[in-house]
Amino acid sequence: MIYYVRRLDTGEIKIGHSGNVPQRMATLRSEAGPLELLATTPGGRAEEHALHQRFQWFNTRGEWFVSSTSLINHIRNIVDDGKQRCLSQTP
């Protein structure tokens, strides 16, 4: 599962993948503080890598990216197409 998570302190967005998104969120919160799960969509490492390449110009470090208009629009398209689950804010 591909997930998109926003840090509430910096606004950066992480593009990652996990077989257990709730467990991954718990781990990320302990490392990065309050987070918001923006969206999830089916996919694995190959899809995650392709997304990292697509948004490489907005990369800040590792799997974290600036909350750019193009990345936000990509996430909105996933939500609008109904290809995902979007959970409410999870501080």
What's the pLDDT score for residue 88?
41
What's the pLDDT score for residue 91?
32
CA distance 38 to 40: 7
Tell which wins on pLDDT, 15 or 91: 15
CA distance 55 to 65: 8
Collapsing DSSP to helix, strand or coil, 90 comes out as: strand
pTM for the model stands at 0.86
Quick: pLDDT tens for 38-89.
Answer: 999 999 999 999 999 999 999 999 999 999 999 999 998 888 766 555 544 3
Collapsing DSSP to helix, strand or coil, 34 comes out as: coil
CA distance 4 to 17: 9
